[in-house]
Copies of this chain bind each other. A is one copy, B any other.
Amino acid sequence: MLRKTRLFTPGPTPLLPAAQLAMAAADLHHRTPEFRAMFTRVSEGLKEFIGTKEDVIVLASSGTGAMEASVANLVNAGDAVAVITAGKFGERWVGICRAFGCNVRAIAAEYGKTISREALRDAITPELRAVFMQATESSTGVRHDVAAVAEMIAGSDTLLVVDAITGLGTTALDVDGKIDLLIGGSQKALMCPPGLSFCSVSERAWARMAECRQPRYYFDLRRERKVQAKGESAFTPAVALVAAMDAALTYVGKMGEGSVARGREALVENAERLAEITRAAVVAGGLELFAPESPAAAMTAVRAPAGVSATEIVKRLKAEFGGIVSDGQGEMKGSMFRIAHLGYFDYLDTLGLLGALEQVLVALAPGKFELGKMVGAAQRSLVSGRDSAPGVADEA
């Protein structure tokens, strides 16, 4: 039989066909009215997608570039900063802050866990210049409590910087007045290829930049703000990716028409429902969640069963069924795998993958798994949740 290759990785994610076509057709120059109109539409669309009234800056870089931009524009060498870290992307914040000479307080939890409110309260003190965190940590599938951190810094001079690269479009985020700089990327819930990052910036973060003495040029957010207000960017933008984002934002804007949850809320609900179904299925099938206490909706991280390597599961899913899921990163390699729900995924994608996973497990650990259990649990989860989350028809 055919085996179509399907991405179930938490970024890059499956591309929206309309975005693919828009990208291929984007043979245009960036200093033209046509491009300025498109770029302005994308800026406005991103505000709506993020749920902010603040200015949103778009950068030609992957998400890590925007993470670096936030550090290079907001904090000085020697500044006390805190990083909430419980996985590979938290560790990336630590690495960037250290590269820029900050005095880093790591507020850490073990892989698969988030940090308790008590631990946060003890560690977040007013002398911190900024707190850096993920909304969801893609290496472990955990969701952090952004609202709790925002509440703890309220009234202080501490800035809150949130990497929401996998958080946007998968979890509700209350941005204005809470988060000073929030980062997203094109290749996640926005269904586009990687290569564009973006961030919303609060007024007090803009004000803070005047005090920042870190060298910066390509990632100088204040220069970009001036130019992007006119529909251009300081340096050549990634034109084709901007065109892809334009198509994707239009699609997301139309999601859920006629339902209660619309636009970005419908996209979040889609991920939340697929995650719920997936969790119900894998647990019913006899697997354990890697982050059971605070699971993200961007992806479901699953422990490999005893005696079976996650790497082998990943390989077989690809070889036998064309499904690309992610192995664990770093020390987690082999012991867990991740199934994505962020962006352009629907129930049939997810049900199919769960069925294939079940078949791989039956083959790898005979006697321990049973065909039909996972998919049956997924079916029942869909039925029981149907009222609260009506399906969204794809009108792309």
Chain A interfacial positions (CB closer than 8 Å to B):
5, 7, 9, 11-12, 14-15, 20-21, 23-32, 60-65, 67-68, 71-72, 77, 95-96, 99-101, 185, 187, 193-196, 214-220, 234-241, 324, 326
Q: Is the CB of B11 within 8 A of A28?
A: no
Q: Is the CB of B195 within 8 A of A241?
A: yes
Tell which of A25, A28, A195, A236 has the most Cβ of chain B within 10 Å. Answer: A236
Q: How many copies does the complex hold?
A: 2
Q: Kindly identify which residue among B29, B185, B217 contacts A68, using a CB–CB cutoff of 8 Å.
A: B217
- State the Cβ distance, A208 to closest chain B Cβ, in Å: 17
Complex Cα distance A26/B67, Å?
A: 25
- On chain B, the residues within 8 Å of A241 by CB distance are 193, 195, 238, 240-241
Chain A to chain B contacts (Cβ below 8 Å), 11 pairs: A15-B27, A20-B24, A20-B27, A23-B23, A23-B193, A60-B194, A63-B236, A64-B217, A64-B234, A65-B65, A99-B217
- On chain B, the residues within 8 Å of A326 by CB distance are 29, 31
Complex Cα distance A344/B219, Å?
A: 31
Q: Is the CB of A194 within 8 A of B237?
A: yes
- State the Cβ distance, A90 to closest chain B Cβ, in Å: 15
* Given contacts A12-B28, A12-B30, A324-B32, A72 and B236 within 8 Å (CB-CB): no
Complex Cα distance A61/B69, Å?
A: 13
Given contact pairs A30-B194, A32-B324, A193-B241, enumerate 9 new A-B contacts (beta carbons under 8 Å): A15-B27, A20-B27, A23-B193, A68-B218, A72-B215, A95-B217, A195-B240, A195-B241, A240-B241
Q: Is the CB of B193 within 8 A of A62?
A: no
Q: Is the CB of A236 within 8 A of B187?
A: yes
Complex Cα distance A86/B257, Å?
A: 55
- State the Cβ distance, A24 to closest chain B Cβ, in Å: 4
- On chain B, the residues within 8 Å of A239 by CB distance are 12, 187, 193-195
Closest 10 A-B residue pairs measured CB to CB?
A195-B238, A193-B240, A24-B24, A64-B235, A20-B24, A68-B218, A62-B236, A99-B217, A100-B215, A194-B236
Q: Is the CB of B27 within 8 A of A7?
A: yes
- State the Cβ distance, A44 to closest chain B Cβ, in Å: 21
Complex Cα distance A28/B5, Å?
A: 9
- State the Cβ distance, A298 to closest chain B Cβ, in Å: 15
Closest to A59 in B: B61
Closest to A6 in B: B27
Q: Kindly identify which residue among B12, B25, B61, B100 contacts A20, using a CB–CB cutoff of 8 Å.
A: B25
Complex Cα distance A68/B24, Å?
A: 29
- On chain B, the residues within 8 Å of A77 by CB distance are 215
Tell which of A21, A65, A326 has the most Cβ of chain B within 10 Å. Answer: A65
Closest to A77 in B: B215
Q: Kindly identify which residue among B62, B99, B217 contacts A237, using a CB–CB cutoff of 8 Å.
A: B62
Closest to A8 in B: B29
Complex Cα distance A194/B59, Å?
A: 12
Closest to A192 in B: B240
Q: Is the CB of A12 within 8 A of B236?
A: yes
Complex Cα distance A296/B219, Å?
A: 30
Q: Is the CB of A61 within 8 A of B95?
A: no
- State the Cβ distance, A34 to closest chain B Cβ, in Å: 9
Q: Is the CB of A11 within 8 A of B236?
A: yes
